[in-house]
Structure 1
Amino acid sequence: MVNSASSQERPGPRGDGVTLPPITVETSQAPKRKPKRAAARPAARAAATSSQPARVNAPAAPVIERGTGFGTRADSTGMGYAMPNATTGTKTDTPLMETPVSVQVIPQDVLRDQQVIGLDQALRNVSGITSGRGMEQEFLIRGFEFQNYYRNGLPFRVDYAHTQDLVNVDRIEVLKGPASVLYGRAEPGGIINFVTKQPQRTPYYSVRQRLGSYNLRRTELDATGSVGDGPFSYRVVAAHQRNGTWLDHYNEERNSIAPSLSLDISERTRTTLQIEYSDINYRGTGGPIYAMIPSINNRPPDIRRSTNLNDPWSMQNQKYLLMTLNTEHSFNDNWSIRHNLSYSRFVSTSSRLYTRPFAASNGDANRNFFSDNVYDDDSLKNLFSSLQLTGKFDTWNVSHTLLAGADYSSRYERTTWGDLYSPPAGISWSTNVFNPVYTAAPPIVTDADVFHVNTSTPWYGFYLQDQMQLPYDVFVLAGLRYDHASRSGITGTTNNLSPISSSSDSKVTPRFGVLWRPISQLSIYGSYTENFGASNGVDPSGQPLPPQTAQQFEAGIKTELAGGRLIGTLALFDLTKQNVAVPDPALRSRLIAVGEARSRGVEVDVSGEILPGWNIKAGYAYMPFAKITRDTNGWEGNRLHNTPVHSGSLWSTYTFAGGDLDGLKLGLGVQGMGLTEAARNYSGDYRPQRPGYAIVNAMASYRWKVDKSVMTAQLNIENLTDEAWWSGSNGYGQYYIGRPRTFMLSLGVEY
């Protein structure tokens, strides 16, 4: 049922110094039942909130609880740094303080304050996440790589080099640890869920222009509202960006657009269609900041930060299309059903000479040639459908939230690439890292040089989850899932194709957690989860690898202070994964399975408002143990690559309210990590390592009102001290140069 309430009935955003007209909040969700033994909490929280000094509301887009796929807030703008609710951990509207797993949220206010464009800039705000390939969309959570991402809880799978544009993202939710019970195929370190901006009936329009270092120009548009007085509402979000970088002869251009349309079929039924399309071009590298620098004597060389070992003709083009249809219906106040359907298509075309993992002491380095989409007919297609039933009921003294669902996904991948290890006669591909040598044009690839992998991977699963609230504020989560996955295809060179041995795997995975909330400000929890992944890639003989499995134990403490405006999580975890896929040292285009890898550590995350106007977002991870624990390739005991013992970040802002400085906001932060291994499979004298670093970032913004509009001027400085650092390594012992000091100035208007 659609309900309305004044936004002034909830704690307002704090300390941005400008007030817009009252905002209407609409929800299609049934009112949440009050827990039997926790009925006093809302009143206590309201009292804590009202005791704070009155603050003026920040300008914010209208907030409507609709269409995110789970039924939670569709817009976190102006809600501060602390988000007490996130659905990624349970697929239900459960407060984080009652969820026995670690879930972290990067809200819109953090993304705006930091002027985030790339995903690497956003994820530095969460503990235990490290970057793999520099600025690309490849990261590690708790020591394990992942490339599976979700939008509003629906999977979308792209190549690791696809750089996700965040213009249509309201917030990012990170679930730590295995997630197979709810999401099927997923890497055990965790998942990243993008909660996108949704159509809203209250009109809202914004334009923001950004200008930055290296000739960066970026324009962002956002418009939403109802279509007349009818049942339709719309939203259109778009961005255009052109920029160079600190690298020689490198530039990029990206265009993104995301229209969406919602239809209120009835008071209890709504359907939303969303489309996203992006077209990204890189020139002067084979991908986003794809300047791979080889190691010299197991360390990155001392070179100019502008060094680009890619030839000027190097390129990559990415085209990405995503369409989703979400329909939800509430039978009554306690039972609802939801159907999701999504289709995506990703195409990458690239061509480049890349350096081999190590260079001689004098800087001489050999290069190989790589190109993909050789015949211009490659694609990665994904079809996903899910049906989900949610119900709330009581049995004796136990309150239940029951979730039952089924999903089906089909992935078809057609990939062709040329990977040449020797140049044609009379031509040299060698270069020098201190004095790069470039070639005039890419080589010609013949059919004999082109390798094919065409695979079809259908997958289906059924899951059941029960969240129980027992007496004495004890919460129990129990879940079970059955998965069945198969894989078939062909592989080989153009003139020598052969079938991949068909594989079929199935498994039942459990999930169990217990949480005790003795007082409203404190929760203590523990959980056990298992993970299942289908065979991931092919081995040197062209056959599928065995399925990957994982198990995790986790325990922790959660806090919620200042009426929910300051939240924190302390988590201890022990995660083990079997059949880890790593590149074959003898043939980089193929994979081999490592027996077992394990990581153990502690993570701390704190978000929210310490004092009126003073916000903080901080995270720290300590992982003393992250190793290959069982292996037949001689790598047993190796530390997992790109996984430091210590890593963390701290970001803090203060907003002035009242007086001559009303509307001014200042921010300062630091991100850093310790030494990491730069290769997955080091042995003997070959052990490339990436040095640790600490980077300082700063911002200042000013907001003021002009008639019915709100203006915002903002300046961000990244790497304030101009620290020379290495942002990542690719697992082979090659490095990526980190951003030097960069400036970004923006001017935005909201109406």
Structure 2
Amino acid sequence: MTSQRVILAACLAGTSLLAFPAPLAAEDGVDALAESEAPDAIVITATRPAYRGEFDPLEVPQAEQVIGQQMLRDVNALDLNTALDLSASVARQNNFGGLWNSFAVRGFVGDENLPSNYLVNGFNAGRGFAGPRDLSGIEAVEILKGPRAALFGRGEPGGTVNLVTKRPKFESAGEIRLLAGSFDTYRADADLQTTLGSNVGVRFVGFYEDAGSFRDTIETERFGFMPSVAVNIGSATRFVYELEYARQEIPFDRGVVAVNGELGVIPQSRFLGEPGEGPNVAEVFGHQIELQHDFSENWSALVGVNYRDTSLQGTSTEAELTGSRQRLFRDGRTLTRQRRFRDYDAQYFVARAELAGNFTTGDITHRVLIGADTDRFENDQVFLRVRAPSLAGNPTEQQLQAIDIFNPVYGRFPLPTPMPLTDRVEVQKATGVYAQYQIGIAEKLELRVGGRYDDYDQRLTNRANNAVARTGESRFSPQVGAVYRATPELSLYATYGENFRPLSGADFAGNPFDPNLSESLEGGIKYTAANGRLTATASVFSIQQGNILVGDPVNAGFTLAGGEAQSRGFEFDLEGEIAEGLDLWVSYAYVDAEVEGDVRDPDFGLPIEAGDRLLNIPEHTLSVQLAYSTEIAGRETRFGGGVLHVGDRLGEVGTDFELPDYTLARVFAEAELTEGVRLRLDIDNLFDTEWYSNSFSQLWVQPGTPRNARVTASFAF
């Protein structure tokens, strides 16, 4: 390509990058080049954040964190959990034996029987059974705090996680990364891109990983590829297609047990399942299409479609939680287990269209978003189980599927055949329309008002008895906010919003549950340095949540939507360059999340008293990361480290069992050996701290990885 210059447009934090040949005119704050100077210039334009408008961070009446590519690289984040650990507002939850991502934002988590939902480029994409999310194809991770139902519809009141994917930048470039680490971990990543003519950009991202574990007998294998194509259709229309395919083979692992409420009685490496089960297999095949058209410098339309097909299949042998069947509660060494088979499938389709624009009247600015979407989520579950009889009948160890936690013998008994328990399909359909209007007065005051109307339908078919239950809901989710620009670098904000989320399953009568409802208040201060290199946000929040699933006090073993909880807290986030070459990340959160009103635990019927803490939610979390860039012998070098502190957490509802607090330290160093060739060393959990990331009960506790090291070689061209 002859006589080309590449113009890098100033990109708002968290926006996805698209690259297109552009007319020689000033656009997005970039000065035009003379035609004679660059006859075939390529512009990398900064598209607005998908489906939420284009605003300066100081103009948004909500707290937001953007974990960009450099920060993801500094912590060598290969999976979503590692990235989310950077945000103190996010807490790890029960990860379903390592088969999915589960997290809470500001104290609240979604349906414990489904993975936590997240967005991909503004689309709901976390729903389903694709396995833990790999970050090989991700440019940035955004934590959009507070209620977002006014724009995105159904979701969690604490906040939303949005993943921004890597897209073509209309250049010929590539990078290969090879990693070797502790516990026989090996991985390869590829990121290649090129152009086809002057109007088409192509990018291919893929990964392969074969990894052992500090956990006995546990080995995983995963791979995926995410190709994408960007096309410039004329000077004002842009088209992007992205494909996602990934397959993961992961043994189901419920972790370790606490004996009489005490952790550390058995080694953290001890596996209490059956290696003969083999791995569970999670798979995803998805498509995402976006079409953006600019009518003028001030008005544009964005239309998108997303479809994902996910599946999860496999068997597991895991600890029995019912006290009347669990011998460990009696002798302190013999663990009763049950065997399960799962065949889960989910299809999710969403189409979304939005018109965004702005205009001025005098010294008043007006910014408008108007949109609509429709989606369909089908959740098909076949679940089989075989479990031990009651201890009152003096069952044999084979009937208990027993294992000695101090001297495990795998394969001691033949694996029993699970029997049918659940065979159902749930279909959720929804159509929504939304609008957001923000008015700016004299560059000092910003007022936002928005709302969304959803028409929702849920159909639950129990194929075991051919029973069909159906419910519908129409709901309006409002949001109002205000921002006062005290100085060009400092703003004060406040916001109020409402949220709702449908609940899967049905009550004793077979009726689907009413949706989970919430209200949220938030206020804070935002600061951005004049050069944009340093940003900080301090915020306080209060969230009330209702219609939480709790145990049915009349019909044992069933649940109903009637619980209430609240979460209140304070957050402080800071990111940026504090000195030449020195980057600092600080994220702190205090979260007081508790149950309101006496209820019963939905899983075991245990009594929960008003004021009890929510599961796996620490009161105090702090993440600090520091990195320094310099030159050594004329070659670029970057090194640094970080500390993560997580406070103690409730480890089992209805009891006083707690997971202890922990503090993890890490260090890294990366150096350029020759042009395009870099070598990197990471040491995580530097002081070999014993820690536990999450639990569901005293018998399902996930231990954290001990000290480990990784060496990465990267080749850029």
Name the TM-score, length of structure 1 as normaliser.
0.84
Q: 1:148 aligns with which of 94, 101, 117?
A: 117
- Return the letter of the residue paired with 1:368: Q
State whether residues 550 and 599 of structure 2, in contact with CA within 8 Å, keep that contact through their aligned partners in structure 1: no
Residue in 2 aligned with 1:354?
318
Q: 1:334 aligns with which of 282, 294, 298?
A: 298
Q: Are 2:76 and 1:115 aligned?
A: yes
Structural mapping, 1:70-109, within 5 Å: 71-72=47-48, 87=49, 91-109=52-70
Residue in 1 aligned with 2:628?
654
State whether residues 495 and 521 of structure 2, in contact with CA within 8 Å, keep that contact through their aligned partners in structure 1: yes
State whether residues 339 and 418 of structure 2, in contact with CA within 8 Å, keep that contact through their aligned partners in structure 1: no
Shift of 1:110: 1.0
Are the structure 2 counterparts of residues 587 and 167 from structure 1 closer, same or farther at C-alpha, using a change threshold of 3 Å? farther
Mapped to 2, the partners of 1:102 and 1:547 lie a distance apart of 26
State whether residues 322 and 344 of structure 1, in contact with CA within 8 Å, keep that contact through their aligned partners in structure 2: yes
Q: Are 2:307 and 1:343 aligned?
A: yes
Mapped to 1, the partners of 2:443 and 2:659 lie a distance apart of 49
Instruction: Summarize deviations over 1:680-726 as a string: whole Å, max 9, x none.
Output: x31xxx332111100111101102443xxx11110001101111111
Residue in 1 aligned with 2:267?
304
Are the structure 2 counterparts of residues 410 and 297 from structure 1 closer, same or farther at C-alpha, using a change threshold of 3 Å? same
Q: 2:85 aligns with which of 124, 131, 149?
A: 124
Q: Are 2:147 and 1:207 aligned?
A: no
Are the structure 2 counterparts of residues 103 and 226 from structure 1 closer, same or farther at C-alpha, using a change threshold of 3 Å? same
- Return the letter of the residue paired with 1:365: L
- Return the letter of the residue paired with 2:256: I
Q: Are 2:382 and 1:416 aligned?
A: yes
Shift of 1:434: 2.6
Residue in 1 aligned with 2:611?
637
Q: 2:150 aligns with which of 181, 184, 190?
A: 181
Instruction: Summarize deviations over 1:230-269 as a string: whole Å, max 9, x none.
Output: 4221111000000100011110000110111122111111
Structural mapping, 1:243-392, within 5 Å: 243-282=211-250, 285-286=251-252, 290-314=253-277, 315-357=279-321, 359-360=328-329, 362-373=332-343, 378-392=344-358
Mapped to 2, the partners of 1:104 and 1:28 lie a distance apart of 33
Structural mapping, 1:692-703, within 5 Å: 692-703=661-672
Instruction: Summarize deviations over 1:550-604 as a string: whole Å, max 9, x none.
Output: 1110000111126111111101000111112358899999654342110000011
Are the structure 2 counterparts of residues 632 and 362 from structure 1 closer, same or farther at C-alpha, using a change threshold of 3 Å? closer
Mapped to 2, the partners of 1:534 and 1:349 lie a distance apart of 25
Bigger shift: residues 449-458 or 192-201: 449-458
Mapped to 1, the partners of 2:69 and 2:553 lie a distance apart of 42
SS of aligned partner of 2:133: coil
Provide the alpha-carbon RMSD of the alignment.
2.9
SS of aligned partner of 1:120: helix
Mapped to 2, the partners of 1:676 and 1:167 lie a distance apart of 31
Q: Are 2:423 and 1:452 aligned?
A: yes
- Return the letter of the residue paired with 1:724: E
Are the structure 2 counterparts of residues 251 and 179 from structure 1 closer, same or farther at C-alpha, using a change threshold of 3 Å? same
State whether residues 292 and 354 of structure 1, in contact with CA within 8 Å, keep that contact through their aligned partners in structure 2: no
- Return the letter of the residue paired with 1:433: I
Mapped to 2, the partners of 1:412 and 1:28 lie a distance apart of 44
Residue in 1 aligned with 2:476?
508
Residue in 2 aligned with 1:231?
199
State whether residues 256 and 268 of structure 2, in contact with CA within 8 Å, keep that contact through their aligned partners in structure 1: no
SS of aligned partner of 2:656: coil
Bigger shift: residues 574-583 or 238-247: 574-583
Are the structure 2 counterparts of residues 566 and 63 from structure 1 closer, same or farther at C-alpha, using a change threshold of 3 Å? farther
Q: 1:167 aligns with which of 127, 136, 142?
A: 136
- Return the letter of the residue paired with 1:372: R
Mapped to 1, the partners of 2:514 and 2:124 lie a distance apart of 22
Mapped to 2, the partners of 1:644 and 1:511 lie a distance apart of 28
Are the structure 2 counterparts of residues 419 and 151 from structure 1 closer, same or farther at C-alpha, using a change threshold of 3 Å? same
Mapped to 2, the partners of 1:30 and 1:190 lie a distance apart of 38
Are the structure 2 counterparts of residues 661 and 596 from structure 1 closer, same or farther at C-alpha, using a change threshold of 3 Å? farther
Residue in 1 aligned with 2:37?
none
Mapped to 1, the partners of 2:249 and 2:107 lie a distance apart of 31
Mapped to 2, the partners of 1:653 and 1:703 lie a distance apart of 16
Instruction: Summarize deviations over 1:476-497 as a string: whole Å, max 9, x none.
Output: 121011011111121264xx33
Residue in 1 aligned with 2:38?
none
Are the structure 2 counterparts of residues 604 and 202 from structure 1 closer, same or farther at C-alpha, using a change threshold of 3 Å? same
Shift of 1:296: 2.5
Mapped to 2, the partners of 1:460 and 1:321 lie a distance apart of 24
Mapped to 2, the partners of 1:312 and 1:593 lie a distance apart of 38
- Return the letter of the residue paired with 1:558: K
Percentage identity across paired residues of the two chains? 26
Residue in 1 aligned with 2:637?
664
Shift of 1:541: 4.5
Mapped to 2, the partners of 1:523 and 1:29 lie a distance apart of 35
SS of aligned partner of 2:150: helix
Are the structure 2 counterparts of residues 643 and 523 from structure 1 closer, same or farther at C-alpha, using a change threshold of 3 Å? same
Shift of 1:397: 2.9
Are the structure 2 counterparts of residues 590 and 199 from structure 1 closer, same or farther at C-alpha, using a change threshold of 3 Å? farther
Shift of 1:162: 1.7
Mapped to 2, the partners of 1:63 and 1:421 lie a distance apart of 62
Are the structure 2 counterparts of residues 26 and 197 from structure 1 closer, same or farther at C-alpha, using a change threshold of 3 Å? farther
SS of aligned partner of 1:313: helix
Q: Are 2:45 and 1:65 aligned?
A: yes
Mapped to 1, the partners of 2:43 and 2:686 lie a distance apart of 35
Mapped to 1, the partners of 2:319 and 2:285 lie a distance apart of 32
Q: 1:137 aligns with which of 83, 87, 101?
A: 101
Residue in 1 aligned with 2:679?
713
Shift of 1:539: 2.9
Are the structure 2 counterparts of residues 31 and 362 from structure 1 closer, same or farther at C-alpha, using a change threshold of 3 Å? farther
Structural mapping, 1:666-705, within 5 Å: 666-679=639-652, 681-682=653-654, 686-705=655-674
Structure ranking higher on relative contact order (CA contacts 8 Å, 6+ apart): 1
Are the structure 2 counterparts of residues 590 and 162 from structure 1 closer, same or farther at C-alpha, using a change threshold of 3 Å? farther
Structural mapping, 1:588-603, within 5 Å: 591-603=559-571
State whether residues 246 and 283 of structure 2, in contact with CA within 8 Å, keep that contact through their aligned partners in structure 1: yes
State whether residues 551 and 575 of structure 1, in contact with CA within 8 Å, keep that contact through their aligned partners in structure 2: yes
Are the structure 2 counterparts of residues 478 and 687 from structure 1 closer, same or farther at C-alpha, using a change threshold of 3 Å? same
Are the structure 2 counterparts of residues 631 and 395 from structure 1 closer, same or farther at C-alpha, using a change threshold of 3 Å? farther
> Structure 2, unaligned stretches of length 5 or more?
32-41, 111-115, 390-394, 601-606
Mapped to 1, the partners of 2:442 and 2:621 lie a distance apart of 39
- Return the letter of the residue paired with 2:489: Q
Mapped to 2, the partners of 1:410 and 1:196 lie a distance apart of 23
Aligned length: 671
Are the structure 2 counterparts of residues 295 and 9 from structure 1 closer, same or farther at C-alpha, using a change threshold of 3 Å? closer
Residue in 2 aligned with 1:58?
none
State whether residues 536 and 546 of structure 1, in contact with CA within 8 Å, keep that contact through their aligned partners in structure 2: no
Q: Are 2:442 and 1:471 aligned?
A: yes
Q: 1:443 aligns with which of 416, 424, 434?
A: 416
Residue in 2 aligned with 1:486?
457
State whether residues 148 and 156 of structure 1, in contact with CA within 8 Å, keep that contact through their aligned partners in structure 2: yes
Mapped to 2, the partners of 1:27 and 1:602 lie a distance apart of 45
State whether residues 596 and 631 of structure 1, in contact with CA within 8 Å, keep that contact through their aligned partners in structure 2: no
Shift of 1:148: 1.1
Residue in 1 aligned with 2:372?
406
Residue in 1 aligned with 2:164?
195
Shift of 1:660: 3.1
Are the structure 2 counterparts of residues 513 and 409 from structure 1 closer, same or farther at C-alpha, using a change threshold of 3 Å? same
Mapped to 1, the partners of 2:24 and 2:53 lie a distance apart of 11
Residue in 1 aligned with 2:403?
431
Are the structure 2 counterparts of residues 109 and 131 from structure 1 closer, same or farther at C-alpha, using a change threshold of 3 Å? same
Instruction: Summarize deviations over 1:593-619 as a string: whole Å, max 9, x none.
Output: 342110000011111111011111111
Are the structure 2 counterparts of residues 557 and 132 from structure 1 closer, same or farther at C-alpha, using a change threshold of 3 Å? same
